Amino acid sequence: MAVSEQARRRLYEHLEAEMGEELAATLMDSLPPAGWGDVATKHDLENLHVLMRSDVIAVAHQLRGEIAELGGELRAEMAQLEGRLRLEIAGLRGETRQEFEKVRGELHRELRLHLVTTISTNVALGGLLLGALKLF
């Protein structure tokens, strides 16, 4: 049962009349402001500690499970990405090889043309030089 403020005041006035103001104030200060039913005991605090600890353990266990699940999903996504990247890289390598072979073929044709042109020019110049030498 909660003690009303009016009842507390009457008690203080009675104590003050019987013991004096100082002792009545000291005694009233040692009483809880809301009544003994609202005061927590060590046992109450220990029970609360046990309950909170079990709640924290349950939440930690749940979080570990969620993290493990997310980790598994992340690993699966990473493996998927790695597979796609490997395919993409393989495709790019193939395209690069094709382009390289194409450039190589063009370079080969250009070098042949250059060689034929150079030899033809040298033969023509040699013939002109021999012709000029025969004239003199």
Report residue 5's pLDDT band, with 50, 70 and 90 as the boundaries: confident
Q: Do 29 and 44 share a structural domain? A: no
Nearest to 16 by CA among 8, 81, 38, 93: 8
Report residue 28's pLDDT band, with 50, 70 and 90 as the boundaries: confident
Q: Do 56 and 95 share a structural domain? A: yes
Using alpha carbons only, give the angle 18, 34, 14 rounded to the nearest 5 degrees. 10
Look up the domain containing 11 and give its range.
Answer: 1-39
Q: Are 79 and 72 in contact (CB under 8 A)?
A: no
The pLDDT of residue 135 is 87
Type of residue found at 20 = G
Q: Do 125 and 69 share a structural domain? A: yes
Q: Are 2 and 31 in contact (CB under 8 A)?
A: no
Query: Per the structure, how many domains does the chain have?
Result: 2
Over the stretch 112-122, which tens digit does the pLDDT of each residue have? 999 999 999 99
Over the stretch 122-134, which tens digit does the pLDDT of each residue have? 999 999 999 988 9
Beta-strand runs (E) in 55-112 = none
pTM to 2 decimal places: 0.41
Q: Do 55 and 120 share a structural domain? A: yes
Q: Do 121 and 67 share a structural domain? A: yes
Q: Do 118 and 101 share a structural domain? A: yes
The pLDDT of residue 30 is 83
What's the mean pLDDT in 70-81? 94
Q: Residue 50 burial (CB < 10 Å; 0-12/13-18/19+)?
A: exposed
